[in-house]
Structure 1
Amino acid sequence: MKLMNVILSILASGLFQGEVRVVQHAGACTWTLEAAAGNRSRAVPLGGGSREELFDRVCVDLGCGRVYNVTETVHTPGADGNNGTGTCLTGCSYRGRRLVNCTETAGSNCSVVSKVVCGHQMVRLAGGPHRCGGRVELWSAGGGGWGTVCDDRWDLADAGVVCGQLGCGYALDATGQGGAFPPAAAGPVHLDELMCAGAESSLWTCPVARHDDGGGRHHDCGHKEDAGVVCSEMRAVRLSGGADRCSGKVELHLNGTWGTVCDTCWDRELAAMVCSMLGCGGEPETFAHFEPPLAHNADAPLWYYMCAVQHTVLWQCTEFINMETLCTSSKAAGLVCKGSQGFPTISTPNVTSVTVLMNPGNTTGSAWGDFLFPLSPELIGCLVLSLLLLLLLTMNSIVCCRRSRRSRALVLQQRSEQQQKSPVVDNDYRESISLVKVTAGPDGSPGERRQHDGLLLPLLLRCQ
């Protein structure tokens, strides 16, 4: 057995001495161990002992604080290009991004390190609707775990470092005291008065005036001054136009813009998902057939979602934006979650009653009892103008009737005066039948026609 250990030690010195190196991955503060094997690389099995201390030393050397998390897998001899002897490296030292002076020992208590995450790599946004928007929190093993950042000197350059580190695009807003995100209830404040240029890999690498890393340097901030950030990739959902936050038109936020969801294929499952995301229960009361139909926001993005059974939030679904073929002739999706007050007023097309989408048990109002309350100032103005116009038409008709009566009275008066001036003769009805008397000429031919004015005037007066 002793001879076998000596042989394994010699093999280790030949195979691993000076060849096990630290390889950084996504972000400067995430790394793993690899050993060169010709033109390939192989995983490195490590035994128990002082591995945690070794990992901390690597993270500190990388300028990334201390270890936050280690991902390991059980070592299987011969798997993934590993040596098939079932041996591990122990007692290694660290120098110049390499493991040196390792000893290879036999045993089955080995593991392969697949990823080490250092503390300064860890940043998160809490208290917001999405992982790309919220209160900034950093992790520090030596400073009490998760802590916040003070909003003194907090600006878009500082916030942009966080968005870039999280893969959330660029910063749209840098919030602070009194902002959109609630402050932390407890915990340390790690950094204060940051002065980032914007190109740093993490906030820990930015110049800072004050910070609290457990080394005696402290800040002068409370949690009411916690810094926050809204990144361009922040996803948020809301319901607008309803009587409360659990009812209204479905709107989504991305890249600083609120868009609407097409109601094409908008079903109960999608509606229940949104209700759950908003903390409004998991059961929709109404999700279709709104009157009048809900319109899309002008010049805003149109969203279409395809979700599977296992999805619990919209951000896990397949999404399409501004796809005309998917949103052709669509309306904006709406939603009333169970227990919500619904929409304030939604009138039917004939405007005979006002239907309020509320909980079961509420009934529609009468035509006149509820109709007067939702009148807008513009509609009231139109009604007033219509009444004034009707009044003017009525007055005009009255004036015209009075003028007509006066004209008739004047004609009758003129006829009476004329009769008093001319002698009274008996009417010759045979003569009055013909208005024009025809006289014969000397040769018996028809002569000139003469109009009997005296007979025409009484006839005209009779027609009055």
Structure 2
Amino acid sequence: MFLLFGILLLFCLVDCCNYSIRLVNGINDCSGRVEMLYNGTWGTVCDDDWDMNDAAVVCRQLGCGTAVSAHGSAHFSQGSGQIWLDDVGCSGSESLLAQCSHPSIGTHNCGHHEDAGVVCLVPDIRLVSGSDSCCGRVEIRYNGQWGTVCDDNWDMNDAAVVCRQSQCGSAISAPHGAAFSQGSGSIWLDDVECSGSEGALTQCSHSGLGKHDCKHDEDAGVVCSDQKEFRLVNGLDDCSGRVEIHYNGTWATVCGDSWDIDEAAVVCRQLGCGRAVIADGRALFGVGDHHVNCKGEESSITQCSPQRNENNCPQSNDAGVICSGMRI
């Protein structure tokens, strides 16, 4: 008896893990017609008995937050080919759609005019403690509460998803170690591993919402391209080099006549590169023709006071920085 139960359980686990699901024809990756990949073929789900409990499981499995609505009658247009599931009956607590009750896969009495769909509410995401909304500490809102993301396995693929979800262009860097200061409260995500193509961070592989072994000194951050007020070039990595500012539609360098550790501190802080180690004003990384003056308290280099540019900066003077976050 126990052997038979074990065989049935193993069959269920293998069967449940033998396919993927997706949402198509919606406004994003978290809304649309429900489709399942089984035996290498995508097929649809019939709307018989389809309700919010079923939608909740779909949204959870896709990392798309909570279910907003459950649709039938091919609300997101008719699919084609196979109809894999019918008479789905979820309690709403399952992790996978295949764990819900249903006839055997492929057994149905439906047409594609009955294809099921869902709309999910993706957890909100924001970037805080940076110079603007496109750089900073990564935070997501789950169950009405904002929390942070641990930097274990945090890389540029993860940052790319955050920047895309935040509508901030492409990723420039993925700072670790609470580079944009420590958050507080919950740590919602850990061990995040994105391919880089996901539409939302919670769709990436992770340990589970609220499951972690981190503290806030490991809070993850990102810097996105749409934040590009300035950049570091000709250095060993993204945390060292010549300082360039996006000025009147073009990139311009910064004169090093009055460049010191205060200015460098602002640059390193804004890029999430730790503290300033070296403030170079003698063209170690190139030449420049614009002056700025910082007190060291600003969150962005563009908040520093500009000095009138008379093109009188010697070519041998050029502002550069090396930050403690530099990777060698």
Q: Which has more helix, going by share of residues?
A: 1
Higher RCO (CA 8 Å, separation ≥ 6 residues) = 2
- Normalising by the smaller structure, the TM-score range is 0.3 to 0.5
TM-score, normalised to structure 2's length?
0.43
TM-score, normalised to structure 1's length?
0.32
